[in-house]
Amino acid sequence: MFFLSPPAQIVDYVDSLIPPAFRIFIGVAELLTVVGLIVPGVTRNMPWLVSAAAAGLMTEMIGASILHALRGELTAAITTFILFVVATFIAYMRWKVMPIAPRARTSVRFLRVLSGSSGLIHATSWKLHSFD
């Protein structure tokens, strides 16, 4: 881990350019993006969040590309631009071409199965019946 850390002078220089509150905001936004890209696709609950998270990542990568280009960091600017292209591809594919199908509502189907097979739940009143 110590071999991958930048020198202290570079860390101090970068920290002086970006306010601490903005760095925290960027970190929280990236964590929410990760959750928004993975969880809705896996659970199929509110799958439109995948394309929304990718769109949020697109705006973040545009800002990162501009910041790195203004600071003269060409390789970092190219890397963040490539990430922008990937996020754009994911957003478009999950929004228009191959959207994730939402999960079917199982609660009503489950109640109908219980009501029809064992009579424990009456489907119209949603009340539990006694076992008498």
Write the DSSP assignment of 93-114 as a string of letters: IIIIISPPPPPPPHHHHHHHHH
Is pTM, for the whole model, over 0.75? no
Domain ranges of the chain: 8-101, 105-132
- Dihedral sign (CA 11, 17, 20, 23): negative
> Phi/psi class of residue 5: alpha, beta or left (left: φ > 0; alpha: ψ in -120 to 50)?
beta
Provide block-wise average pLDDT over 10 residues at a time, the chain (132 residues): 72 79 90 92 90 93 92 92 95 89 67 53 50 52
What pLDDT, on the 0 to 100 scale, is given for residue 10? 77
What pLDDT, on the 0 to 100 scale, is given for residue 63? 92
Per the DSSP assignment, residues forming a β-bridge with 128 are 121
What pLDDT, on the 0 to 100 scale, is given for residue 35? 94
The helix/strand/coil state of 121 is strand
